[in-house]
Amino acid sequence: MSEQLEGEIDTVMIEQRLFPPTEQFSQQARIKSLAEYQTLYDEARRDPTKFWETQAREHLHWFTPFSETLQWEAPFVKWFVGGKTNASYNCLDAHIAAGRGDRTAIIWEGEPGDERKLTYRQLHSEVCRFANVLKSLGVQTGDVVSIYMPMTPELAIAMLACARLGAVHSVIFAGFSAEAIADRNHDAGAKIQLTSDGLYRRGKVLSLKETVDQALAKSPSVKKCIVLRRVGNDVSMQPGRDFWWHELMEQASDDCPAVPLDSETPLFILYTSGSTGKPKGIRHTTAGYNLYARRTFEWVFDHREDDIYWCTADCGWITGHSYVVYGPMTAGATVLMYEGAPNFPAEDRFWDLIEKYRVTILYTAPTAIRAFIKWGDHHVDKHDLSSLRLLGSVGEGINPEAWMWYHTKIGGGRCPIVDTWWQTETGGIMMSPLPGAIATKPGSCTKPLPGVSPRIVDDNGHDVKRGRGGMLCIDYPWPGMLRGIWGDDQRYRDQYWTKVPGMYLTGDNARQDSDDYYWIMGRIDDVINVSGHRLSTIEVESALVSHPAVAEAAVVGKPDEIKGQAITAFVTLRVEGEVEELRQALKMHVRKEIGALAQPDDIRFTSALPKTRSGKIMRRLLRDIAAGKEQVGDTTTLEDYTVLARLRDDED
């Protein structure tokens, strides 16, 4: 079938451009050619157990070697059974033992411009001390530690200190609301809270402690709170509950051996949106996750000794877990961490950082790239970006225009772009070009990594014909996969393993082109992607209807130049009121219930929501209205979509 025909059926985007890596890049790469990739991929496919067994023996430290590589009783998996390891040891002690303790682990820059550097030895010492602090407050293996902190070295230190003890961290992005923290703390049964007095954002100070105080009032399981002094604002400290980080650290010893932990000891919980109103606590465990983060980091970012690597993600998201902390640090990389906004004090902050620290690898998100394009090339032109050799993208599909700009303007035409497809649930990158081996096509995540076995299937679970779109599934376990949803095995089964029996359902649609390249085509469920972050439309709807003025709400994504998708909410009211006032009140309400990232851009009031005869909200129609494809008059007052609905009552 020709590419043209495939395109007609499945996608309006037909991208023919092919960008092979330069010879110079390939020659120096870990994986140098398509043939080499194919050999590795085939080896893993023939005998995945053997493949991962070798990887695990060679790339993790074992206090006790494992006796069995894989136990797979679908949908529950155990990797490296009987073995004992420790992710904090692999990230720190292993480098010191190998005589590499003086390598720089973290180069950090705060938003106001303050700088710090920590070698692996120094980081080890901080982590040990903080692990002792946690112990002194009663934290033990298996306890859940809730972390709500800015992007400071202490955030990574806190994560690694938990890992050292076998305590389970639950990092909550510092933009979430008090309600969201309390929900997550409650679901996880968190025992202790870590936070800071505040954080810097675009030159302003935001108080985190205040938000945490509100959250802790509704988090009965949390008995203690450690507060990092970051901005020096006034905070209230509750005696007996709240402690200053620096005061506890003063007394702490830096002798704290890593606890040998069973491979399947939970390492962290990370909450993410699903297709229902309640966020899911995705559960990852120690050995499999750690190995997967390390190997995918090394393969995809082609890591070399002299690299200065910068992943711009916050540790509040999975990208920060896997590719700021666990992947690069297990690999012994030098990681740049930046605390603040990309446009403070000016729109060239990223380029300034790259020039200043001679960054060689940049991993960022399409939403950021689109913002840079909008801000203008002159910000880029001021800086020398010649240190860059590789670029990465994550969070959503990268549109070809943004890809080309990233390639030419940032990469100077010489840097491969790795468009990495993966999810919170997968633990690490699943599909991506290997930069020395696989020619890229703008907008495609190209091929699966070794050990990853994707399938594209129809509603009956049958493989679709090449070129057709279908549900993207993974038909064999991999070490980084989620082990479940915290406290809810049934939801884990229902969500990921039921619709297509025997396969992990990713929730994304995809197609494969005539070169076997994969193209992600968006979600199959009611999850939208705002600035690379997953939000469930139902979660936002639940927040809206919890406001006393709201009778019913339907939330859809609408195309947005910068964010990819923005939120439009259609709302019917219980009470009459001044429209503009209500609109503001509802926006603030969602902010309070979830956080700023879920605040609708657009709220439209309607006398009734368009529904099918069977009573289902016609979301497709609402999406068309939100995108401006259906003209429906004045949007400042009450609208009535039921007429349109009657015209389109065929929608399921």
Which residue has tokens 């009965």? 220
Q: Considering only CA atoms, which of 431, 438, 437 is closest in space to residue 32?
A: 437
Nearer Cβ to ligand PRX (79/422): 422
DSSP-based three-state secondary structure for 298? helix
DSSP annotation of 480 reads: T
Q: How many CB atoms lie within 10 A of CB 373?
A: 17
In sequence order, what are the residues at sequence separation of 6 or more whose Cβ sits closer than 8 angstroms to the Cβ of residue 422? 394, 428, 429, 430, 431
Q: How many CB atoms lie within 10 A of CB 281?
A: 23
Return the number of the residue (395 or 600) whose C-beta is nearest ligand PRX.
395
Least distance (Å) between residue 472 CB and ligand PRX:
8
Residue length of the chain: 652
Instruction: Count other C-beta atoms under 10 Å from residue 601's C-beta.
Output: 15
Q: Which is nearer to ligand PRX, 124 or 533 (CB)?
A: 533
What count of other Cβ atoms lies within 10 Å of the Cβ of residue 450? 24
Q: Could you tell me the two tokens for 221?
A: 């399981």
Query: Across-strand partners of 168?
Result: 144
Closest separation in Å from C-beta 520 to ligand PRX = 4
Q: Which is nearer to ligand PRX, 123 or 556 (CB)?
A: 556
Query: With respect to ligand PRX, which residue has the nearer C-beta, 318 or 590?
Result: 318
Least spacing, CB of residue 397 vs ligand PRX, in Å: 4
- Which of 397, 450 has the CB closer to ligand PRX? 397
Alpha carbon distance 88, 177 (integer Å):
30
Closest alpha carbon to 478 in 87, 52, 58, 57: 52
What stretch of H or E contains 457?
A: strand 454-457
Name the nearest CA neighbour of 383 among 408, 355, 360, 345. 355
Residue 347 beta carbon to ligand PRX: minimum distance, rounded to whole angstroms: 24
* Residues engaged in binding ligand PRX (CB under 6 A): 272, 318-319, 394-397, 419-424, 445, 506-508, 520, 523, 529, 533-534
Task: Please state the closest distance from residue 334 (CB atom) to ligand PRX, in A.
Answer: 23
Cβ at position 7, least distance to ligand PRX in Å: 18
* Min dist. Cβ of residue 529 to ligand PRX (A): 6
Distances (CA, A) of 506 to 2, 163, 199, 250, 481: 28, 27, 35, 46, 11
Q: How far is the CB of 651 from ligand PRX (least distance, A)?
A: 23
Phi, psi of 309 (to 5 degrees): -110, 130
Shortest Å, Cβ 272 to ligand PRX: 5
Q: Nearest approach, Cβ of 629 to ligand PRX (angstroms)?
A: 23
For residue 72, the minimal CB distance to ligand PRX (Å) is 23
Residue closer to ligand PRX by CB (options 336, 535) is: 535
Give yes or no for a contact between 586 and 569, defined as CB atoms under 8 angstroms apart.
Answer: yes
For ligand PRX, which is the closer residue by CB, 150 or 395?
A: 395
3-class state of residue 381 by DSSP: helix
Contacts of 646 (CB under 8 A, 6+ apart): none
Q: How far is the CB of 422 from ligand PRX (least distance, A)?
A: 5
- CA nearest to 119, candidates 268, 335, 383, 320: 335
CA atoms within 13 A on the CB side of 254: 10
Taking the C-alpha atoms of residue 20 and residue 26, their distance in angstroms, rounded to an integer, is 9
**Separation between Cα atoms, residue 443 and residue 15, nearest integer Å:** 8
What is the maximal distance between C-alpha atoms in the chain? 73
Nearest residue (CB) to ligand PRX, 319 versus 440:
319
C-alpha span between 451 and 496 (Å, rounded):
19
Antiparallel, parallel or unpaired: β 144-148 and 168-171: parallel
Please say which residue, 320 or 342, places its beta carbon nearer to ligand PRX.
320
Q: Whose Cβ is closer to ligand PRX: residue 318's or residue 586's?
A: 318
DSSP tag of 331: T
Q: Which is nearer to ligand PRX, 33 or 399 (CB)?
A: 399
- Cβ closest to ligand PRX, residue 309 vs residue 421: 421
Rg (CA), the chain: 24
Closest distance to ligand PRX from the beta carbon of 507 (Å): 6
Query: Which CB, 205 or 371, lies closer to ligand PRX?
Result: 371
Task: State in angstroms the smallest separation of the CB of 171 from ligand PRX.
Answer: 13
- Residue 277: CB atoms within 10 Å: 15
**Whose CB is nearest to ligand PRX?**
424
Token code pair at residue 318 = 């999975």
256: closest CA among 160, 143, 118?
Answer: 160
Nearest distance from residue 431's CB to ligand PRX, in Å? 8
Cβ 318 to ligand PRX shortest distance, Å: 5
Locate the DSSP E strands across 110-264. 115-119, 144-148, 168-171, 192-196, 198-201, 204-207, 224-228, 242-244, 261-262
Q: Which is nearer to ligand PRX, 150 or 557 (CB)?
A: 557
By C-beta, is 80 or 422 nearer to ligand PRX?
422
Report the C-alpha gap between 232 and 405 in whole angstroms. 40
Q: Examine residue 345 and say whether the peptide bond preceding it is cis (omega within 30 degrees of 0).
A: yes
